[in-house]
Amino acid sequence: MKRRQFLLTLGGLPVIGSLVYAAIAKSKSEKTSTNYPAEATPNSNGSLINEPLLRFAAIADNGVGSSDQYAVANAMSQTYQKQPFLFVLMAGDNIYSYGEINSVKAYFEEPYAALLSQNVKFYAVLGNHDIIKTNNGLDQINYKPFNMSDRYYSFTKGIGEKGIKGIIEFFALDTNDNASWQQQLAWLDLQLTNSTTPWKIVYGHHPLYSSGRHGGDPQLAAKLAPIFAKHKVPLYLCGHDHGYERFVPIAGTTYIVNGGGGAPLYRFGKSDKTAFVSSQFSFMTFDVYEDKIITKAIATDGKVFDQSVITKNI
Ligand SMILES: [Fe+2]
């Protein structure tokens, strides 16, 4: 079946017509608390909006222990108070400069203490800094709060009470040069083939496309883009370039560089595929509905500076 995907930039809150699933998403593995009301709630103009099926957040290039990392972390906590998210994707360079696990307290546990105390889980992948001068990132894989079952892995969220098998399956990649690429690509292709969730999101540290200092990676794109196209992956999240850039869908996939988690920012240009670019300290949230995902890029003042809607039609 042919699917079309649209990416729209919205200025206001989404108005969702109906929900197919129960509005309270639960994960079997997490005994998720009921963060989201089942009832539709009134918008400021009196119209009804429905809460998302689930909400998650994302950061990258954060593990530096700087005041900028704390500024982002504090904004995440403040956002969490108003719009709770269940978990955070952490897309690499989790511990600067060389992935030393003995820095995890200062660069992870303390900055995100408020979220961790609320049982917000983080799901990490390895960035290039995470494997330098250490045992190739193994300490981070073995560090339980990073929730990495392996160098690359998948996990499903939104398992509900009414026979729902899950809303999103995430595919967390090791995009480093020394990754087991042949095995990983075969695994990704097979996992995507077997996935039964309506949404499938892939994330890794390195961008396929970027207008930042590092730029895009044609070799990485040659590896991953055909698999994304084959399986109609709607979203790939990454970091590595320290700033924010969202692209218009490329062959059906929206690519977002989300590397403003705390490490010093890079200067960004733009390309003809750039939908929005801003090099600033930031994080993202994703409101997941049955038929769309609302993406929000949020600055350290808590304000949304870019918002988009990924819609899929299957
Ligand atoms: Fe990096």
Which residues sit opposite 245 in a β-bridge?
257, 277
Q: What is the rounded average pLDDT of the residues 226-252? A: 97
- 61 alpha carbon to ligand 1 midpoint, in Å? 7
Q: Which amino acid is at 48?
A: L
Q: What is the CATH number of the domain that holds 128?
A: 3.60.21.10
CA distance 96 to 62: 8
- 133 alpha carbon to ligand 1 midpoint, in Å? 15
**314 confidence band (pLDDT: 50, 70, 90):** low
- 11 alpha carbon to ligand 1 midpoint, in Å? 31
Q: What is the rounded average pLDDT of the residues 247-276? A: 98
Examine residue 8 and state whether it is found in any structural domain, yes or no. Answer: yes
Helix, strand, coil % (nearest 5) of the chain? 20, 25, 50
- Going 228 to 230 to 231 to 233, the CA torsion angle's sign is positive
Q: Which of 212, 293, 261, 237 is nearest to 93 (CA)?
A: 261
Q: Which of 161, 83, 173, 93 is nearest to 127 (CA)?
A: 93
pLDDT confidence of residue 225: 98
- Domain count within the chain: 1
pLDDT confidence of residue 40: 42
- 269 alpha carbon to ligand 1 midpoint, in Å? 18
CB 111 within 8 A of CB 70: yes
- 95 alpha carbon to ligand 1 midpoint, in Å? 11
| pLDDT 10s digits, 199-222 | 999 999 999 999 999 999 999 999
pLDDT confidence of residue 159: 76
- 268 alpha carbon to ligand 1 midpoint, in Å? 15
pLDDT confidence of residue 26: 28
Examine residue 29 and state whether it is found in any structural domain, yes or no. Answer: no
- 277 alpha carbon to ligand 1 midpoint, in Å? 18
- 32 alpha carbon to ligand 1 midpoint, in Å? 32
pLDDT confidence of residue 211: 98
Examine residue 22 and state whether it is found in any structural domain, yes or no. Answer: no
Q: What is the rounded average pLDDT of the residues 144-163? A: 88
Examine residue 97 and state whether it is found in any structural domain, yes or no. Answer: yes
- 240 alpha carbon to ligand 1 midpoint, in Å? 4
* Residues near ligand 1 ion, CB 5 Å cutoff: 93, 127-128, 240
| pLDDT 10s digits, 18-72 | 222 323 232 333 333 333 333 344 455 544 568 899 999 999 999 999 999 999 9
Examine residue 95 and state whether it is found in any structural domain, yes or no. Answer: yes
SS3 category, 48: strand
- 60 alpha carbon to ligand 1 midpoint, in Å? 9
CB 94 within 8 A of CB 124: yes
CA distance 76 to 297: 11
| pLDDT 10s digits, 174-204 | 999 999 999 999 999 999 999 999 999 999 9
- 241 alpha carbon to ligand 1 midpoint, in Å? 7
Does the predicted TM-score (pTM) go above 0.75? yes
- 242 alpha carbon to ligand 1 midpoint, in Å? 8
Q: Which of 218, 266, 221 is nearest to 244 (CA)?
A: 266
Examine residue 26 and state whether it is found in any structural domain, yes or no. Answer: no
Residue 232 sits at φ, ψ, to 5 deg, of 55, 45
- 127 alpha carbon to ligand 1 midpoint, in Å? 5
Cis peptide leading into residue 97 (ω within 30°): yes
| pLDDT 10s digits, 70-129 | 999 999 999 999 999 999 999 999 999 999 999 999 999 999 999 999 999 999 999 999
Strands (E), 64-198: 87-90, 121-124, 153-157, 168-172
Examine residue 277 and state whether it is found in any structural domain, yes or no. Answer: yes
- 65 alpha carbon to ligand 1 midpoint, in Å? 16
pLDDT confidence of residue 133: 85
Residue 16 has pLDDT above 80, yes or no: no
147 lies in which domain range?
Answer: 4-15+42-313
- 259 alpha carbon to ligand 1 midpoint, in Å? 9
CA distance 224 to 257: 16
pLDDT confidence of residue 263: 98
Examine residue 176 and state whether it is found in any structural domain, yes or no. Answer: yes
- 58 alpha carbon to ligand 1 midpoint, in Å? 15
